[in-house]
Amino acid sequence: MKRNKKSTEEQCCSASSTSRKDVLDTRVSDLHVEQEDLLLVGLRGRKLIALLVCVGLMWLIAIVNLVIIISVIVLNKFFLKCNILLVMFLKIGNQGMDGVQFGRTVDGKPVVQFAASETYFQHMVSKTGTVGGYRDTDLNVDAARIVIRTNNSTTLPPVGLIIDENRIRMQNVNTFIVRERNTLSKTFDASQPILHLQKNIKKISTKLIKTKKIRAPLDNNLTLDVENLSFRGNEGTLLSSRAMNIRSTQSITLKTGDRGVMNLTADQGLFLTSAQRLPLSDSPSFRANVLGRRLCSCAGTGRLFTVAGNMPCASSLQSCI
């Protein structure tokens, strides 16, 4: 019995010792796990990279929002200034606009009227293609360079009229017609370039005229009064009249090209009105060309005549009458 008791006691002691060891082992393993968890606290690897990317995107979005807010503030100030300038230009007050009126024409078309005597524009677009003035009032357009363009087609180049100080130039124009205001009759047509001047037009001022013919009406004089007059024709220049009177305060020059020919013909002769003041030339030498002719003038009447190149300017009294 005593032995059995001892064996049971030994078994109990061994069981209790093993259980204590297991408890100690579990505690040690728990402590080891907790130490590993403590060592692994924080973000590592991909999680840290994802966090940094998110923070960078948030910073970028914040900067973009700041730039947008600043630009919106600047644009608001700019548009506010533009609106103030527009109000000042149009003279908008409590009673409306002082210089601009909106209405309709007799045909019912909308029209914008400017009541001011002078209005300044840099660019004007008219949907109807019409810009007009008030009744019985002239419309004056003043500018260093005026450009008028219209284009009804999307494929063809725009038609333009450019007015400079010294010339008028047309672009992409096949026909050009000038019509009378009231009757709409043709005053000038580029396909039939004949300009008929009305009776009330007595004078034309221009710097250069390119035409085939200039002719005065029957039984009327054609007077050209200029500071420097020159006629130039590629195939010749013909001046024809019943009586031609050419006067110049300084000089008159008649010349042709290298192979040109000059013909002066008159039924009753050619006269120099100031021949009395011309100096008398010496008699030519006999070495002059026999085939040539010498142009002479009568001292009293100014009538021109020719003699042989090697002969003196002598004629009968009848030819100088």
Question: Would you state the pLDDT for residue 65?
Answer: 92
Mean pLDDT for the stretch of residues 257-262: 74
Q: Which residue has the higher pLDDT, 224 or 65?
A: 65
Question: Would you state the pLDDT for residue 295?
Answer: 76
Distances in whole angstroms, Cα of residue 182 to Cα of each of 107, 138, 185, 217, 281 = 18, 15, 8, 25, 64
CA–CA gap between residue 297 and residue 280 (Å, rounded): 10
Question: Would you state the pLDDT for residue 143?
Answer: 87
pLDDT in tens, 158-208: 888 888 877 788 888 778 888 887 888 887 787 776 666 677 777 777 777
Question: Would you state the pLDDT for residue 278?
Answer: 61
CA–CA gap between residue 199 and residue 151 (Å, rounded): 36
pLDDT in tens, 67-122: 999 999 999 999 888 888 877 776 776 656 666 777 777 777 778 777 777 778 88
User: Amino acid identity of 166?
Assistant: N
Q: Which helix (H) or strand (E) holds 55?
A: helix 46-90
Confidence of residue 12 (pLDDT cuts 50, 70, 90): very low
Mapped onto helix, strand or coil, the DSSP state of residue 75 is helix
Structural domain boundaries in the chain = 1-40, 141-198, 265-321
Mean pLDDT for the stretch of residues 38-62: 79
Give the predicted TM-score (pTM) of the model.
0.34
Q: Which residues contact 144 (CB under 8 A, 6 or more apart)?
A: 165
Q: Which residues contact 173 (CB under 8 A, 6 or more apart)?
A: 159, 190
Tokens matching residue 17: 């010792």
Question: Would you state the pLDDT for residue 294?
Answer: 75
* Closest among 164, 198, 208, 158 to 178, alpha carbons compared: 198
Q: Which helix (H) or strand (E) holds 268?
A: none
